[in-house]
Structures are given as structure tokens and as C-alpha cells.
Amino acid sequence: MSMESVGWDTMYKSMNAPQARALKGERRATLRRIAGFARPHRRRIAVFLVLSVVTALLTVVTPLLAGRVVNLITGAESGADGGSGPAIVGLALLIALIAIVEAAAGIGTRWFSANIGEGLILDLRRSVFDHVQKMPVAFFTRTRTGALVSRLNNDVIGAQRAFSDTLSGVVSNAVTLLLTLGVMIAISWQVTILALVLLPVFVVPARRMGRRMAALSREAAEYNARMSTQMTERFSAPGATLVKLFGRPDIESTEFSDRADRVRDIGVRRAMLQAFFMTALTLVSALALALVYGLGGWLAVGGHLSAGAVVSLALLLTRMYAPLTALANARVEIMSALVSFERVFEVLDLEPLIADKPDARPVPQGPVSVRFDDVSFAYPSADKVSLASLEEVAQLDNRGGSTVLHDIDLEVPAGSMTALVGSSGAGKSTIANLATRLYDVDTGTIELNGVDIRDLQSASVHRTVGLVTQDGHLFHDTVRANLALADPAVTEQQIWDALRRARLDDLVHSLPDGLDTVVGERGYRLSGGERQRLTIARLLLAQPSVVILDEATAHLDSTSEAAVQEALGEALVGRTSIVIAHRLSTIRAADEIAVLEQGRIVERGDHATLLARNGRYAELYRTQFADDARSGIVCCEDELTA
């Protein structure tokens, strides 16, 4: 490795090395966990280390052979004029052979390094991705998506460098340094001491420059992160619409330009610091070589050294500063890797709130009933479901959430429909989240066919209980892929049948690519009603025994609502259903209506009974009728005046 490449590598590692914050005990625990991830790759690591040592040995051999060639040329080792020619040719061939072996060993080292590093990335990413999928919904509502994705990208790659770069670097550099120093001292201890005297002139500026570069890099990273956040939010369909509606393009452009200008200024300063550093590094290297040639040449003229020894010392010197500098920065590199590992393990150490019991069983076969027995619930505090670093706050709020459901008793017989109504924030959606086991209750039980939901397999619960929310979320993928989420093995005929039942087949037939049409981010290429009917088609393909509709038509116009209600009629046939409705006229046929206020059921009964009782339900119905009348919507006035 050349002195210049070493300098660039040293600067890169110094400027990107974060400060270590973990205690020694925590570091030991981290190292044990790292060993666990490395264990599957131990054979490749062993071969990798052997090749690194071989490469280090070959690095020292070549300068010695070059010195012998010089001595043969000058006649220092040969008394006969004709005897040195074949020896020189032989040494030249040996040097060439060593170069070939060194190149092969370098390629082999790189192959093993890449496989170990990429294998580690694969293992870490799989672990983090699978673990994050087990986290509760509260985790995702609090976490910044970009910060979480960074753990899967930047931190995982930073951890990978510990194996692909740092591990081999420490081993090969240590071997190279020991061999080089030993050989140089054997050749001339005076020259070796002189070379070591200049070492601080080489290392200290690198350290100081690295700190200055690190400060600039952190500042640039902050501005880049702000630009990235601005672009992510403003380039989404809702964000772009919001900016246009409020006429802020010029202001947004100015804010972005100011940040980009700051990044440019930092880039110029970094470039100049790098230039000064590389110039100083080259100068120090040249001075060291000059001293070696000067002292070595003086000793050679005095008969204390051979010319070949001087050449060997000069070549060895260039190969000594590289490992010395790398080892001087090894602690920084190791701490950098440890911090990356710790940030990854920080996510893996978050305990999922919901976990299947060892003896969990599937939901019993047949029509499914749902029962809430004395259920109370409070959403978990932030410190139980999130990380301060993922929320980008100084400290998480460890206060417990207030109770949002109190002593809920509710039974939905198999095949029946129960509607939940009430004011916003009364707890209706929380009941839907608990029935699908997105959260577990604090007290009481929820039963499916008489079995506590906590004794059932989560996957079986999610196959049994289907939920349609009001936002109708879709992925940026094709119609086919969004529907196949319900069942990867679904056939095209089944897809078209579900689309027909969801009253969406004509629309999909009219799309340019049919089922292979990309619906856009969050499905924004479709209207609200079309998105909602597509989620209903997905529900039909999933074929759950229980269907929960959480205000599935809340934000639709009358035409779209009618189409969606027709599609919902197909989805609810023969199924147990819990319907959370804002428009009360849509749930008059429910077998039972439960009215929630402040997390408690205050009324229950069918539509006619609740109207006759003239309580909270009648008040809600009357208020909505008045609003509908002002909007020109005809409702059931006779029921209210009866």
C-alpha cells in the first residue's frame, strides 16, 4: 500500500470514527454478542487471517530480495564477475513469483473479506428486520422511519467493517510491523531509530486533522440529514400537495438552498484540509526517506552497510509507516465498529410486547365468536416500545399511558354484527386493535371461540380476524402484489373474483397494465373509494372468519361510499363482524349497537331500542340527522319523530 493511499485511508477512518460511550462491561457483552454473529463464519475467518499473515510476510521479503539484487549488481556479494548474473536473474524471478503469490493472496483475502462482511450484513439485517416486524404498532407510531432505516443500512455496514477491514488490518499490520522492525534493526539499528524519531511528526498531524475533519463531517451529516428529511416529506404526494396549496415553493427552495450552500462550504473546507494533510504527509515521507538515504549512504561509504542494505531499509521504511499509522488508529476503528454494533443491538434488545406462548395453539375451527370480558387497557409508555435515538429526543417519556378502556364487556356471537359508535376518542379503534391482537389487554380477557386470545398463535389470530381501516393503505406496487399480501398462493381467477365482488373488476380491466398496474405510493394513483374497495378485495382473498371495519367509509363521498358499502356487503356475508361507524344510518341493521363514551359502554341494544330509549345514541343520531338535512341528505325522520 502506498503512503498516499494509507494517508487517505487514515483520514477517512479518523473523520468517521464516533466517540465510544459504552462502559467496559457493556463492551464485553457486546463483544460476546459479536462473537455469536461471527461464529457461523469462523472457518472463513480463520482462512482469512492466515492469508492476511501470508500477505504480511511477503511484504517484508520483497525489500530484502531487492537489497540482495543491488549487492550482486555492485559486486558486494560476488567475487567472480560472471557468477552474479544467474543469481540476479534467479532473484528477479523469485521477486516476480512472490509478486504473483502476493497478488493471489490479496485477491483471496479480499474474497474472504467480502464474503465475511457481506454475510455479516445479511445476518444482521435479517435479525433486525425480523425483530422490527415483531414490534407493536406503538413502536412505529413513535419512531422516525429514516432513523430506523439507518440502523439497517449505515450502522449495519459500520459493523461489517469490523470484520472486513479492522480485523484483517490489525492482524496483518501487527505482523508486518513486527517483522519490519525486526529486519530493520538487524540491518541497522541507527537508521531504524532515526525512522522512529520521525514517527510522531507523521501520526500527530493525522490525529489532529482527523478530529477537525470529524467535526466538519458531523456538521455536513446534520445538514444532509435535514435536506434528506425535507426532500422525503416534500416529494411525497401529500407533502407536495400541501406545499402547492399553501404557495410555499419559493420558501421551500430558499430553505433547501441555504442548507445545500452550507454543505458546499463545508465541502470546500474539507477539500482544503485534505490537501494540506496529504501535502504534509508526502513531505514527511520524503524527509524520512532522505534521512535514511543520508545516514544509510554515509554508513555505506564508511563500510558499515552495503548498498543493498540501504535500498532494503528505504523500501522497508515505506512499509513500516503504513502499519504503524493503521495500528495507531486501530482503537478508533474498533470503537467505531463497537458503536455500530451497539446501535444495532439496541434495536434487537427492544422486547416485543406481544409474544406467543410456547404452547400457543391455532384458533379453533368453525364460526368464530368474539368476547370482551371486563377488559381495561392503557397504551404503553414510550420507554416500553421505543428508543430515544429513534425518536430523536433526549429522553423518552416513561410515564404510563392513561387508561382508555374501562371494564368493557362485549360479546359478538358467531355470524352476528355488532356496531360500535360514540364520540371521537371514545375507544372504538382501541377495541379493534385489541381484537386483532395488535396490543394485549392490561386486565380482563378477549376470547375467540371461548379461548383467551393470548393463548392462541398470533399468526392464526391475524388469519382469523381481518381489519379494514379508513385509510385503505396500499404499497407502491402492482394491483396484483397488493392483493397477494392476503395469500401469496392466490390464483388469477381468485383475484378477479375478489375484484368482481368488491365492484372493482371493471376499473382494473380499464387500467393500462391491468393487474400489473403500479398503484403508486400509498395507492395515490387511485381515488379514495377505489383504494378502499381494493383493500376490501384483499380482505375477501384473506377469507377471515371475523371482519372488523374501522370507519371504512368515513372520508368518502356519497357515490364512493355507496360503492364501498355494496362491496362491504359481500365481505360481511356469513362472517362475524364488528363495525365502527361514523354514519349511523349504515349500521341500523346491526344485531347489537354498543355506545362508547370515555372508554366505557354507556348503552347497548338494537337501533330501534336505542332510539326509543332517547339516550346518547338517540342524541348522536338526531345530531347527525340535522347535519345531513342541512347537507341535503334524506334520512329517516319518521324514526326520530315516532
624 part of a folded domain: no
Report pLDDT digits (tens) over 543-558. 888 988 887 666 566 6
Average pLDDT (176-199) is 78
pTM: predicted TM-score of the whole model, two decimal places: 0.67
| pLDDT tens column, 560-594 | 667 667 777 777 777 888 988 877 777 888 889 99
User: Above 50 in pLDDT, residue 634?
Assistant: no
In a domain, 74, yes or no: yes
| 245 Rama class: left (phi>0) / alpha (psi -120 to 50) / beta | alpha
Indicate whether 15 and 154 sit together in one domain.
Answer: yes
**CATH label of the domain that carries residue 196:** 1.20.1560.10
Are 526 and 587 contained in the same domain?
yes
Whether 202 and 335 map to the same domain: the answer is yes
Phi, then psi, of 423 in degrees rounded to 5:
-70, 160
Same domain, 189 and 123: yes
158 and 109 belong to one structural domain: yes
- What is the rounded distance in angstroms from the CA atom of residue 438 to the CA atom of residue 141? 13
pLDDT interval class at 625 (50, 70, 90) = low
Of the three residues 348, 382, 408, the one that is the final residue of a domain is 348
Those residues whose C-beta lies under 8 Å from the C-beta of residue 545, and which sit 6 or more positions away, are 363, 367, 368, 464, 465, 575, 576
Whether 213 has a pLDDT exceeding 80, the answer reads: no
- Per-residue pLDDT at 57: 81
Task: Count the domains in the chain.
Answer: 2
Tell me the CATH number at 413. 3.40.50.300
Quick one: 415 and 480 in the same domain?
yes
pLDDT in tens, 47-61: 888 888 888 788 778
The verdict on 328 and 402 lying in the same domain is no
> In the structure, what pLDDT confidence band is assigned to residue 537 with cuts at 50, 70 and 90?
confident
Q: Which residue has the higher pLDDT, 537 or 27?
A: 537
Task: With respect to residue 353, please indicate whether it lies within any of the assigned structural domains.
Answer: no
Is there a domain that residue 404 lies in? Answer: yes
Radius of gyration (C-alpha) of the chain in whole angstroms: 36
Q: What is the pLDDT of residue 102?
A: 84
Domain membership of residue 640 (yes or no) is no
Residue ending a domain, among 605, 621, 636, is 605
Together in a domain, 536 and 594: yes
Binned at pLDDT 50, 70 and 90, residue 446 comes out as very high
Where b means 16+ CB within 10 Å and e means fewer, 570-597 reads bbeeebbbbbbbbbbebbbebebbbbbb
> Is 616 a domain residue?
no
* DSSP code at position 513: T
Q: DSSP class of residue 455?
A: G
Same domain? 243 vs 389: no
Distance between CA atoms of residues 129 and 152, nearest Å:
8
pLDDT at 204: 64
Q: Give all strands (DSSP E) within 428-504, no chain letters.
A: 443-448, 451-452, 465-468
Strands (E) located in 276-402: 370-378
Query: Do 221 and 117 have their domain in common?
Result: yes
pLDDT in the model for residue 17: 46
Q: Are residues 468 and 525 in the same domain?
A: yes
β-strand partners of 549: 468, 579
C-alpha cell of residue 2: 502506498
**How does residue 331 score in pLDDT terms, banded at 50, 70 and 90?**
low
Place of cell 455500530: 340
What's the rounded mean pLDDT across residues 430-443? 90
Domain that includes residue 46, residue range: 3-348
Structural domain includes residue 621: no
Compute the C-alpha angle 55/60/65, nearest 5°.
120
d(CA 432, CA 438): 9
Provide mean pLDDT across the span 435-443. 89
285 within domain boundaries? yes
Judgement on whether residues 272 and 303 belong to the same structural domain of the protein: yes
